[in-house]
């Protein structure tokens, strides 16, 4: 079978390949409405409609997210993912619509607890749940929470670009979201390998996830662009940043922030933390790294300079004196962990 036919044959764990998306999907989608604000790109996570046409200054912006698993906190992570994507566009998240798909044998009490956890997250982020639906489905084997978070954006302000010479900062930790999800899903199993104190410290790292108020504050202190680190981890996010703005970069691998708990849990399951979902952590481009780093320190969020944007399309990752080129995104390790446990 030819390589092209193999790629068409079946899906792999993680995002659809860039080759298939560009070759078979993008070419079939035509832009026909002037109200659409953002172009269609594989790397674009949000959508926006200009209210009243291009002459109007306000845009309605939204982002979708879904998380699957067994923990009652699934909805919290889904809401955080989508809300941060909206905030990364410079908008304020306002409302969230929720749909829960559950195995037919799931207990209703579990759904009630999931809804309560989502309301807790919305109270923290000042979001309003506008709709919540739950349905038992014979097509799923574990809970799937799908959310849409929406807000408003000033469409009159030109979109900012990641330009050569600007610095790239990491706000938050690589692989932290995936670590927290694993700790929730496999708490009993991990308890046979790690001490209760270790697991407690792991869960407490949740407070280090960035939220929309932090992202909005970053824009006020010199951030030019912000991109949340999603499926595929920080290495995928760096590649997507380059694709989105057609830029190159030089990144120092050793400067990537990572928690010791993430390292140990990933070693236990033989996972690559740099390829694991990291919602709640962001890549930020700026001309004012000193001011931004001071802001993050003030609000209690770890951040570090990773590198700089270059004026070509070459994406280099250095580790001391060793240099290599950034690879295309690999499948997400959190999803692979879930697949291996079926």
Q: Provide the CATH number for the domain formed by 32-154 in this structure.
A: 3.30.1330.10
Strand bridging mode 46-50 / 322-325: unpaired
96 strand-pairing partners: 129, 149
Sheet holding 58-69, edge to edge: 46-50, 58-69, 143-154, 92-103, 128-137
Cα(180)–Cα(176) distance, integer angstroms: 6
Residue 2: its pLDDT value, please? 54
* Residue partners of 200: CB distance under 8 A and separation at least 6: none
Residue 331: its pLDDT value, please? 92
Sheet holding 315-319, edge to edge: 223-229, 278-286, 167-171, 303-310, 248-252, 315-319, 322-325
- Read off the pLDDT of residues 231-251 as tens digits, 9 standing for 90 and up: 999 999 999 999 999 999 999
170 strand-pairing partners: 283, 304
Polymer length of the chain: 342
Q: Do 38 and 46 touch, CB atoms closer than 8 A?
A: yes
Collapsed DSSP state (helix, strand, coil) of residue 247: coil
Mean pLDDT for the stretch of residues 198-222: 95
Instruction: Look at 35 and 233; give whichever has higher pLDDT.
Output: 233
Cα(110)–Cα(71) distance, integer angstroms: 9
Residue 32: its pLDDT value, please? 87
Q: Is the pLDDT confidence value at 87 over 90?
A: yes
Mean pLDDT for the stretch of residues 140-145: 95
Q: Is the pLDDT confidence value at 28 over 80?
A: yes
69 strand-pairing partners: 143
Percentage of the residues of the chain whose pLDDT score is greater than 90: 77
Instruction: Look at 159 and 295; give whichever has higher pLDDT.
Output: 295
Mutual angle of helices 176-185 and 74-87, in 10-degree steps: 170
Element (H, E) at 190: helix 187-191
Cα(308)–Cα(270) distance, integer angstroms: 31
- Read off the pLDDT of residues 37-68 as tens digits, 9 standing for 90 and up: 888 888 889 999 998 755 557 899 999 999 99
Instruction: Look at 26 and 293; give whichever has higher pLDDT.
Output: 293
Instruction: Look at 162 and 202; give whichever has higher pLDDT.
Output: 202
Domain residue ranges in the chain: 32-154, 167-340
Residue 4: its pLDDT value, please? 52
- Read off the pLDDT of residues 1-11 as tens digits, 9 standing for 90 and up: 455 555 456 77
Tell me, which fold does domain 167-340 have in CATH?
A: Phosphoribosyl-aminoimidazole Synthetase; Chain A, domain 2 (3.90.650)
Q: What's the predicted TM-score (pTM) here?
A: 0.93
Concatenating the DSSP letter of every residue in 82-97 gives: HHHHHHTTTPEEEEEE
State the pLDDT confidence band at 34, using cuts at 50, 70 and 90. Answer: confident
Burial of 203 (0-12, 13-18, 19+ CB in 10 A): middle
Q: Do 181 and 112 touch, CB atoms closer than 8 A?
A: no
- The rounded mean pLDDT for the chain is 92
Percentage of the residues of the chain whose pLDDT score is greater than 70: 94
């Amino acid at each position: 079978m030819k390589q092209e036919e193999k790629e068409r044959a079946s899906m792999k764990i993680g995002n659809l390949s860039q080759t298939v998306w560009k070759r078979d999907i993008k070419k079939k989608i035509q832009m026909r409405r002037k109200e659409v604000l953002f172009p269609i790109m594989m790397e674009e996570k949000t959508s926006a409609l200009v209210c009243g046409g291009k002459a109007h200054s306000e845009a309605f912006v939204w982002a979708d997210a879904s998380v699957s698993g067994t923990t009652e906190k699934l909805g919290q992570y889904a809401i955080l993912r989508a809300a941060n994507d909206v905030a990364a566009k410079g908008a304020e998240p306002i409302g969230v619509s929720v749909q829960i798909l559950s195995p037919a044998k799931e207990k209703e009490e579990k759904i009630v607890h999931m809804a309560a956890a989502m309301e807790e997250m919305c109270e923290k982020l000042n979001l309003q749940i506008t709709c919540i639906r739950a349905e038992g489905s014979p097509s799923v084997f574990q809970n799937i929470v799908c959310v849409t978070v929406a807000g408003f954006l000033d469409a009159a302000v030109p979109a900012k670009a990641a330009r050569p010479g600007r610095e790239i900062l990491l706000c938050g930790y690589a692989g932290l979201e995936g670590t927290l999800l694993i700790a929730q899903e496999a708490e009993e199993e991990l308890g046979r390998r790690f001490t209760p104190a270790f697991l407690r410290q792991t869960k407490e790292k949740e407070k280090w996830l960035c939220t929309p108020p932090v992202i909005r504050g970053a824009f006020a202190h010199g951030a030019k662009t912000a991109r949340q680190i999603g499926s595929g981890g920080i290495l995928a996010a760096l590649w997507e940043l380059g694709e989105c703005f057609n830029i190159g970069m030089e990144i120092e691998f050793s400067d990537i922030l990572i928690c010791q708990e993430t390292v140990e849990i990933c070693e236990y399951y033989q996972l690559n933390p740099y390829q694991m979902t990291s919602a709640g952590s962001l890549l930020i481009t700026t001309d004012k790294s000193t001011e931004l780093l001071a802001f993050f320190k003030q609000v209690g969020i770890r951040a570090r300079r990773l590198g700089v944007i270059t004026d070509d399309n070459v994406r280099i990752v250095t580790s001391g004196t060793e240099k290599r080129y950034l690879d295309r995104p690999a499948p997400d390790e959190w999803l692979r962990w879930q697949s291996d446990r079926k």
